[in-house]
Amino acid sequence: MSNRSHPLLQIRSEIDPLKTILLHRPSRELEQLIPKYLDEMLFEDIPYLEQMQKEHDEFALQLTSRGIEVLYFENLLKETLAQQDARVQIVNTVIDELHVNSASLKEDIRQLLLSRSSGELAQTLLAGLSKNEVPHSADEKRLSFYIKEGFPFYLDPLPNLYFSRDYGTVIGNRLSVNTMKARARKRESMLLEQIARYHRRFTSAGVDLWHHYNEKDSIEGGDILILSPEVIAIGCSARTSPEGIEELAERIFEKDTGFREVLVLQIPFARAYMHLDTVFTMVDRDKFSIFPGIAEHIKVFSIKPGSKGGLSIIPRENLKKTLSESLGLRGIQLIETGGGDLLTAEREQWNDGTNTLAISPGCVVTYRRNTVSNDILRKHNIEVVEIPGSELVRGRGGPRCMSMPLYRETE
């Protein structure tokens, strides 16, 4: 088992040998989920945290036992908050972005946050701040002291933080801090951006940002797949807007990065497949797993740098053909999850059977529960590392969603 750390960010493919990854171990933020607000929090159910943590630890163990360095978001945040300038900047940003108008209430919250130790503050920024926690003076109580019916938090919890794929994406040697679509997830990328700006792990590597957390058009990491050192696929989905894709494509082409094409895969805008990686992932140099219920609904576009400095966007007919042409391969295989039976495929897709995390070419991590899809992958000579997922899956995401690769070795 190696703990060797790689200071630089580097992702030039979905499948190259994985060396460093960012995870978040589900924690108290999951215990703030309440039935009334599940929709807003992007959950269908309330997971059992203790079991969820065991499953997550098993996931991390499968990675570390293969020599992959695992960084934890909460530790990075805590270490960042230990620096005074970062701490003040983060608290100020949190206060500016609160959904609260009253200046006196904002000031009370600021003071409360600043009074916490780095570890406590990190926890609060993840698990949220409930209205009950802000002290009321004995003679001047706020209305929230008497009225408890409304939304219970001043600072929302971040139950989706364990889907570390979504709020940031390493593209080449730069980090794209993604602009999240839903209010429930916006603070996730704000915190990542602060970590990237202040934490020595990132500052010592001189990390450049492609994109910031608070841009106008949404783009989320579950939609971004780095297919090769030259080609990126981006899903246009319920979460990632066409404008967000164009903006990122322009920036990628502007800098001399080696990337020369962005393939846009537009998928139906639906909860069951909120991101491209819930229906399509890369498992080997020429193999992809795909949810069969969707293949004929995917619209494909190719974006390349335009001759006059803009973008040249060309609609393409066929996913398979486009992929093989763009990747310069004679043929590619689309492996249909669910083993050809649409009912099984739909059930397993809902439980993230298509959401694979490649740790090297032809070796992926998946949930054990998706037995049919895992067998199909094995039949196509893919090595499948299984992890338990009865509770983890309740947030609607699998191993790829739960991980942000920071460094993959290139050949």
Ligand X SMILES: NC(=[NH2+])NCCC[C@H](N)C(=O)O
Binding site for ligand X (CB under 6 A): 42, 160, 163, 165-166, 185, 222, 274-275, 277-278, 395-397, 401
The least distance separating ligand X from the CB of residue 394, rounded to whole angstroms, comes to: 9
Cα(167)–Cα(275) distance, integer angstroms? 12
What one-letter code names the amino acid at 248? L
Question: How many Å apart are CA 187 and CA 95, to the nearest integer?
Answer: 11
Q: Which is closer to ligand X, CB of 167 or CB of 198?
A: 167
Helical spans, DSSP H, in 297-341:
319-327
Beta strands 69-72 and 129-130, pairing class: unpaired
Q: Which of the following is catalytic: 190, 385, 401, 406?
A: 401
Minimum Å gap between C-beta 271 and ligand X is 8
User: Diameter of the chain by CA atoms?
Assistant: 77
Those residues with Cβ within 8 angstroms of residue 169's Cβ, 6 or more apart along the chain or in another chain: 11, 175, 176, 178, 221, 224, 404
Which of 87, 185 has the CB closer to ligand X?
Answer: 185
Question: Which CB sits closer to ligand X, 222 or 305?
Answer: 222
| Integer angstrom CA distances of residue 296 from 222, 252, 291, 307, 337 | 20, 29, 10, 31, 15
Single-letter code of the amino acid located at 259: F
Contact 164, 76 (CB under 8 A): no
Helix axes 84-96, 103-114, angle to 10 degrees: 150
Neighbouring residues of 120: CB distance < 8 A, sequence distance ≥ 6: none
State the minimum distance, in angstroms, from the CB of residue 286 to ligand X. 23
- For helices 183-198 and 73-81, the axis angle rounded to 10 degrees is 60
Nearest to 235 by CA among 187, 294, 287: 294
Residue type, position 12, single letter: R
Q: Identify the bridge partners of residue 130 per DSSP, sorted by sequence position.
A: 153
What residue type is assigned to position 90 of the chain? I
Q: How far apart are the first and last CA of the chain?
A: 21
Closest contact distance (angstroms) between CB of 100 and ligand X is 24
For residue 76, count other CB atoms closer than 10 A to its CB: 22
Report in angstroms how near the CB of residue 305 gets to ligand X at its nearest.
28
Cβ atoms of 351 and 367 within 8 Å: the answer is yes
CB of 308 to ligand X, least distance (A): 35
Residue nearest to ligand X (CB): 222
Kindly state the smallest distance separating residue 45's Cβ from ligand X, in Å: 11
Check if the beta carbon of residue 392 is closer than 8 Å to that of residue 25.
no
For ligand X, give the closer residue by CB, 100 or 270: 270
Identify whether 401 is a catalytic site residue.
Answer: yes
Nearest residue (CB) to ligand X, 109 versus 180: 180
Question: Smallest gap, in angstroms, from Cβ of residue 330 to ligand X?
Answer: 30
Burial class (CB in 10 A: 0-12, 13-18, 19+), 397: buried
Please choose, from the candidates 90, 97, 136, the residue with its C-alpha nearest in 3D space to the C-alpha of residue 113. Answer: 90
Q: Is the Cβ of residue 113 or residue 279 nearer to ligand X in the bound state?
A: 279
| Closest to ligand X by CB, 42 or 303 | 42
CB-nearer residue toward ligand X: 80 or 179: 179
| Residues classed as catalytic | 401
